[in-house]
Amino acid sequence: MPGAIGGAYLTRALASHLFSLAFGALLIAIALLLFTGITAAPSPRADARQIVDAVGERHAYHVDAWKGVLVSFFVGILSSVFGVGGGIIHVPFLIVVLSLPVHVATATSHFVLSISTFVGAATFLALGHVNLPTTGLMGAGILAGAQLGARFSTRTSPVAIRRVLAGALVLVGIRMILHALAVGPW
């Protein structure tokens, strides 16, 4: 939450072109890590976790909660600064750095980011940067799309989800780089 608030205020002070260029490059690098399937070994202080999902599949993994707190702070800043869903940074981090199973990472990110997104959105609303009619229409679409996406993900392999996420990150990264270079209509 502090990151989301700080990021909202930080947007007023940043020169966007250079930052967009760097962020686009970061997204492409994260996409490459996701696509290759590389994950970090758990740290010695990571706690063992295990859950059984709704379809009975068992997921065992290790989590270093302090790494999660630190990166979530920066995810909150970046998502507010760039106006992108924090999930495009958070999910890859959970998969690559914390080694969470893909389905657990997407669900965890969605839950955690709903809180920070609310705080960031409230800050932008207080700053007068929100167009409420557009927000209402987009929100209705997001609610429907999120339900479909959650159902679709349970029928999709973790490798396919990683690759689709990697592809989406490359597209967003390229868009940000093009924006930074003032190429195209964005």
Q: What is the pLDDT of residues 12-34, one digit of tens each?
A: 666 667 777 877 888 898 888 88
Segment 99-106 mean pLDDT: 81
Q: Could you tell me if residue 185 is inside a domain?
A: no
Do residues 21 and 181 lie in contact, with contact meaning Cβ atoms separated by under 8 Å? yes
Do residues 95 and 34 lie in contact, with contact meaning Cβ atoms separated by under 8 Å? yes
Say how many C-beta atoms besides its own lie within 10 A of residue 170's C-beta. 18
Q: Could you tell me if residue 147 is inside a domain?
A: yes
* 56-83 exposure pattern, b = at least 16 Cβ within 10 A, e = fewer: eeeeebbbbeebbeebbbebbbbbbbbe
Q: Could you tell me if residue 31 is inside a domain?
A: yes
Q: Could you tell me if residue 88 is inside a domain?
A: yes
Query: Could you give the CA distance from residue 120 to residue 80 in angstroms, rounded to a whole number?
Result: 6
Q: Could you tell me if residue 186 is inside a domain?
A: no
Q: What are phi and psi of 41, to 5 degrees?
A: -70, 145
Cβ-Cβ contacts under 8 Å for 41 (sequence gap 6 or more): 99
| pLDDT greater at residue 132 or residue 119 | 132
Segment 95-122 mean pLDDT: 80
Our count of domains for the chain comes to: 1
Q: What pLDDT is recorded for position 86?
A: 66
Q: Is pLDDT at 152 greater than 60 in this prediction?
A: yes
Residue span of the structural domain in which 139 resides: 2-180
Q: What pLDDT is recorded for position 12?
A: 65
Percent of the chain with pLDDT over 90: 4
Least confident piece of the model among 49-63, 83-97, 99-113: 83-97
Q: What global pTM score does this model have?
A: 0.62
DSSP letter assigned to residue 184:
S
Nearest Cα neighbor of 98 from 133, 148, 63, 69 is 63
